Amino acid sequence: MASSPRCINCKTKILPTCHYPAVPTATLRSNHTPTHSDVAYIRVVLQEEEQELQRYDEEIESLRQTLERLESERELLTRKIGERRSWLAPIRRLPVEILERIFVQLPTCLNIVGPRQGKGRYQLTSSAITLSHVSFHWRSVATAQRSIWSRIKWARNDPHITMKNDLTPLLDIFLENAASHPLEISIKFPLAYSTIQSSTSAIVERMGTHAIHLLRTLTNQFPRCEVLSITDLEVEALDHVFPHGTTFPLLRSLRYDPQRFRDNNVFKTNGRFWNAIYSAPRLQGISFDTILEPMEHPGRVPWNQLKSIHVDYLVYYRDFLFLVTHCCQLESLEIDVPFAGFEEDDEDEPEWDETIIPVVVPHLQELSFETTSSVVSHALLRALTLPSLERLDFGFGESDNLDSVCESLQTFSSMLQRSSCALTMLCVVIRPRSINERFLSLLPEVLEQLSCLECLQLYVDTPSDRGRTNPGTGGSLHNIIGRICSLLSLSSNRSQTILPKLVELHLDDGFTAPYPSSQMGSVLDVVEERTGPRLDASGRKDISALRDVSISVCLIGKKQELPGIEDRVAALERDLIECSILWDFVES
């Protein structure tokens, strides 16, 4: 029989224990019936055991209440300990000014992304919300930083699922905390193709009540918007919720990318929206999917106040010429030209490359044009004079005529001579078939002109349908890395140091042609020569130390032919702020 429970401290019995024996199992299993005297005795025993059971229940309830009280007191004590430890936390000694700067640098945008798992519910993420839940102090600091509540991004993933949850209350919190701070709003709301073909009322109906409510809340905030990005949202839906009389007094930058790819009608449907955009007094930057609509009504666009233009699909050379001649304050231009190059305006007119005229763009500081046509790259380089150019990103188009590609490089050199000598960043994309010995021989002449260059990025772009060049058939392609590195070497006998201000170097051969593994050491030699410790040891104060290096090459040979390469790369990673040197082997 089990002993009576005792107090853990004094060992006193808490409750008495009945000493009546249990009914034998054999008796219960038999058909034996108790006698009258047995029945009277059993009833007395039952009464005593039931009374003792009640006392046990009462004691258990008392102990349960005691346990709950102890757990509650333990939880309170744990919270006190945590609060005292928090009181001693080093981060409390961080000045509020530093904490504010940290908060401002975080990606605190409100991201509304969905639907999730086909249920029509959206996922919300925001560092601003997370920061405000850390502590009362952090919440007060976060809510005082209006800028971290001013960035709102709404991205719809599945156009076939209607929005099921109302997110307007959370959006209202962000808008309230942002107060009068200018907003950055990004809306991506693709519609199903069948919806696009419907009437405006059908489009609105299929968007759903919650989506329309959220969209209307955002459009009501357009007068507070400083940066606006609209992607895939059809103008019929925008027209339905765009308030009459809305203006953009604060708008500086607009990106509009409609879902109806290159359809001129998408611009004309919502006259109120575009009239308000073009009337924005502070508008300085516009990013278009195509520039067709502005060219239809060029008088509506405030070209003279635009400083930044990005066009994803520039079809005609005349449009490019219009931009660089009418945007008198243009500082940044980024264009993508179709694969086949510029299209012809009219069969009766001369071909566009026969109408090239010299153009001076006095304030342009950043230029980026992407094209696979050597004719386009050659024409643009031949036409432009850029006295304020600081950053240039372009590609040498691929051509079966290597002489024309080399002429493009010479044209680039001439453009540098006509333009600014203060170019600090150069990114060049080269197609494999564009490289030959003449091309490589022209590199020194070009690089010698870039005395102020701080960042050099050179990439070999290989079409996906071509793949890697077979060993031994790469021609002069594998020399591109070696030629660049030999020019940068400080141990060469050149009278003029190439790129003395260079601090960032990015070389990528696209793994298109094998580079002799025996020459990999010379590549590392050049990088090591330009690290801070080596320059200090040699007393070269006229050379800037490399800070950021990334090199990707394809090597022919075996890893055993490169003794100590991993140790040398590890040493460079210690000496440089950023270092990434990657290589891949192919058998010889």
DSSP notation for 346-377: -TTSPPGGGS---EE-TT--EEEEE-SBHHHH
Tell me how crowded residue 4 is: count the other CB atoms within 10 A of its CB.
12
> In terms of domains, do 58 and 134 share one?
no
The confidence band for 183, taking pLDDT boundaries of 50, 70 and 90, is very high
Burial class of residue 233 (count of CB atoms within 10 Å of its CB; 0-12, 13-18, 19+) = buried
So what's the pLDDT on residue 424?
93
Answer yes or no: is pLDDT of 39 > 70: yes
Answer yes or no: is pLDDT of 430 > 80: no
Token readout for 358 is 């010299």
Q: Which residue did the predictor score with more confidence, 213 or 474?
A: 213
So what's the pLDDT on residue 265?
47
So what's the pLDDT on residue 313?
83
> In terms of domains, do 44 and 116 share one?
no
Tell me how crowded residue 264 is: count the other CB atoms within 10 A of its CB.
12
Q: Is 75 within the bounds of a domain?
A: yes
> In terms of domains, do 69 and 113 share one?
no
Answer yes or no: is pLDDT of 239 > 60: yes
The confidence band for 269, taking pLDDT boundaries of 50, 70 and 90, is very low
- 44-61: average pLDDT: 89
262 lies in which domain range?
92-283
So what's the pLDDT on residue 203?
62
**Of 5-9, 337-341, 499-503, where does the model show the most confidence?**
499-503
Q: Which residue did the predictor score with more confidence, 121 or 96?
A: 96
- 143-148: average pLDDT: 90
**Of 359-373, 397-411, 573-587, where does the model show the most confidence?**
359-373
So what's the pLDDT on residue 8?
60
So what's the pLDDT on residue 123?
72
Answer yes or no: is pLDDT of 134 > 70: yes
Find the length of the chain: 588
So what's the pLDDT on residue 464?
43
Q: Is 373 within the bounds of a domain?
A: no
Q: Which residue did the predictor score with more confidence, 102 or 554?
A: 102
The confidence band for 236, taking pLDDT boundaries of 50, 70 and 90, is low
> In terms of domains, do 66 and 97 share one?
no
**What span, in angstroms and rounded, lies between the C-alpha atoms of 568 and 549?**
14
Q: Is 388 within the bounds of a domain?
A: no
So what's the pLDDT on residue 6?
62
Question: Is-contact 554 512, C-beta < 8 A?
Answer: yes
Answer yes or no: is pLDDT of 1 > 60: no
So what's the pLDDT on residue 351?
67
Q: Which residue did the predictor score with more confidence, 501 or 209?
A: 501
Final residue in a domain of this structure, among 230, 252, 283: 283
Answer yes or no: is pLDDT of 420 > 80: no
Percent pLDDT > 90 in the chain is: 21
- 398-420: average pLDDT: 76
> In terms of domains, do 222 and 105 share one?
yes
Q: How many structural domains is the chain composed of? A: 2
The confidence band for 16, taking pLDDT boundaries of 50, 70 and 90, is low
So what's the pLDDT on residue 256?
86
- 76-86: average pLDDT: 91
> In terms of domains, do 107 and 203 share one?
yes
> In terms of domains, do 65 and 121 share one?
no
Answer yes or no: is pLDDT of 437 > 70: yes
The confidence band for 33, taking pLDDT boundaries of 50, 70 and 90, is confident
> In terms of domains, do 120 and 218 share one?
yes
> In terms of domains, do 74 and 188 share one?
no
Token readout for 501 is 């201000």
**What span, in angstroms and rounded, lies between the C-alpha atoms of 583 and 566?**
11
Q: Which residue did the predictor score with more confidence, 442 or 45?
A: 45
> In terms of domains, do 210 and 230 share one?
yes
**Of 76-80, 406-410, 419-423, where does the model show the most confidence?**
76-80
Phi/psi of residue 112, nearest 5 degrees? -110, 105
Q: Is 565 within the bounds of a domain?
A: no
Q: Is 171 within the bounds of a domain?
A: yes
**What span, in angstroms and rounded, lies between the C-alpha atoms of 124 and 110?**
7
Look up residue 344 and give its amino acid: E
> In terms of domains, do 163 and 241 share one?
yes
Final residue in a domain of this structure, among 87, 111, 133: 87
Answer yes or no: is pLDDT of 466 > 50: no
Final residue in a domain of this structure, among 87, 113, 136: 87
Angle formed by the axes of helices 168-178 and 209-220, nearest 10°: 10
Q: What is the tens place of the pLDDT at every residue in 146-171? A: 988 999 998 877 766 777 778 888 88
So what's the pLDDT on residue 587?
59
Q: Is 272 within the bounds of a domain?
A: yes
Answer yes or no: is pLDDT of 469 > 60: no
Q: Is 5 within the bounds of a domain?
A: no
pTM: 0.75
**What span, in angstroms and rounded, lies between the C-alpha atoms of 452 and 189?**
44
- 229-240: average pLDDT: 75
Q: Is 535 within the bounds of a domain?
A: no
> In terms of domains, do 110 and 183 share one?
yes
Question: Is-contact 288 311, C-beta < 8 A?
Answer: yes
So what's the pLDDT on residue 547?
92
SS3 for 209-246 is HHHHHHHHHHHHCHHHEEEEEEECCCHHHHHHHCCCCC
